[in-house]
Structure 1
């Protein structure tokens, strides 16, 4: 009797099925496996199979890549994971790492970057875009952030560049403080208490969905909060406070 390609009862997958489940090519999946980014496969004779833990590792790798981590840095991150980490732990890690942007960072040459900007970019233009945190350098290439077009549009506004720089510094400073405080609250009051409890494997997926909803609602709350604060400042200026 021939051996089935997959054992559905155990949820095992071939490398082709694993790659498809994670949205990768088989070649890339094999390469990541060769780097040790996923655990060794389950062996059935000469056949290699993969399960949900392998898929969870690959999804974690993709989340790290979305944040601009190099493969070398990802290797170090994966190696530092606790040996006893389970599906739930990996789901929580992925939930905390999932990019807040719908579009990932892009690595472009200067020519491709100028095409994206729709204009030539002099060295001082590039420096300004970097200072506005919409662009990073990566050797001879550039990492275009999802809000790159916002930075380019700002450069077309007839205001001193020093003013753009000061406004960008203020936004980044206050946003980093806000994100740090919110992240500390999330860890201390949501993630850590959850980790200390007893849960079924499916609970990890539900927690990941909860964190995703919190991410969306937090973005909406930040925008609404800024609008309210701005309106309050306008009202105070009108009454002379």
Structure 2
């Protein structure tokens, strides 16, 4: 008589993503850049979210309250999705229901699609297609398997007229389109602002009388310098990764790959923090020097004016 299968050990979220990618049909893996891009997005998102879930992830198991909190939803919604067949049954330990990382990934996907206007029936169909490997590239092209991204801001799509009103300067609008900060979809009549935070900053500074043309000039001068800084910072992390993963040699195990990906994301987080702090200190020092000079000039002019009286 065959012995009962032992329970499988908990699988971390990064390992789960790698496993899902490996299970995809070979023609899909090789032929669809969308699959790779979505996998990268998922990996980075998991690595970024990791600090928020360290306590729960230590065991790889979550109670329903923790699961809902990590997925950004409510326990009531989790129960509804479970009753509708969108979530697989949890592991029962006595009267306690325990969910794992697979449930968390799936719940984030469900929340993402429902937020984007799909109904529960559509979500069920897409999840079934995703699990069975049917039209996988199309499914992944429609929705990222994990809600959110490791980028700090998301593009904003709006009616073309709304975007032109947001910029309120036809020449500047065309420059922003030419620079790739705004993308136009003539068929849909929409415009996508790829850097909404930047445009918001432009508009706030404009209220002080600085022309948007000047602000775009500054962006065009600064952007290549930021790319250079990025290249310098990332090169150190890349050299460490390439020391572990050498072309032509067999890949390390999933655990080591997961550690390398996590290291790169942590490296990004710390690099951004360090550069932000350094830049802020430099700007503050420059502004203080400028204000000091302005005040010195003001006092000198006042003294000269008083001497003439």
1:5-16 residue pairs with structure 2 within 5 A?
9=8
Q: CA deviation at 1:58?
A: 5.5
Q: 1:152 to 1:162 in 2, by over 3 A?
A: closer
Give the alignment partner of residue 142 of structure 1, picking from 169, 172, 191: 191
What is the CA deviation profile of residues 162-203 of structure 1, one whole-angstrom value per residue up to 9, with x for unaligned ones? Answer: 32122111221211222233333332x222122248643223
Q: CA deviation at 1:21?
A: 5.0
Partners of 1:129 and 1:151 within 8 A in 2: no
Number of paired residues? Answer: 178
Counterpart of 2:137 in structure 1 is: 37
Partners of 1:131 and 1:168 within 8 A in 2: no
1:162 maps to 2:213: yes
Counterpart of 1:217 in structure 2 is: 270
What is the CA deviation profile of residues 95-146 of structure 1, one whole-angstrom value per residue up to 9, with x for unaligned ones? Answer: xxx6431x422322235547xx8x5745335335546765333333222234
Q: Following the alignment from structure 1 to structure 2, what is the Cα–Cα distance between the partners of residues 182 and 30?
A: 42
Partners of 1:105 and 1:143 within 8 A in 2: yes
Q: CA deviation at 1:232?
A: 5.6
Superposition TM-score, scaled by structure 2 size: 0.43
1:125-204 residue pairs with structure 2 within 5 A?
125-127=172-174, 129-130=176-177, 134-139=181-186, 140-144=189-193, 145-147=195-197, 148-187=199-238, 189-196=239-246, 199-204=252-257
Q: Secondary structure at the match of 1:107?
A: strand
Partners of 2:160 and 2:184 within 8 A in 1: no
Q: CA deviation at 1:63?
A: 8.5
1:124 maps to 2:171: yes
Superposition TM-score, scaled by structure 1 size: 0.53
Counterpart of 1:62 in structure 2 is: 144
> Which residues of structure 1 form unaligned runs of 5+?
1-6, 39-56, 67-97
Q: Following the alignment from structure 1 to structure 2, what is the Cα–Cα distance between the partners of residues 182 and 107?
A: 31
Counterpart of 1:53 in structure 2 is: none
Higher helix proportion (structure 1 or 2): 2
* Structure whose alpha-carbon radius of gyration is higher: 2
Partners of 2:109 and 2:145 within 8 A in 1: no
Q: Following the alignment from structure 2 to structure 1, what is the Cα–Cα distance between the partners of residues 168 and 236?
A: 41
Q: Secondary structure at the match of 2:144?
A: helix
Q: Following the alignment from structure 2 to structure 1, what is the Cα–Cα distance between the partners of residues 147 and 269?
A: 21
Q: CA deviation at 1:65?
A: 10
Q: 1:171 to 1:27 in 2, by over 3 A?
A: farther
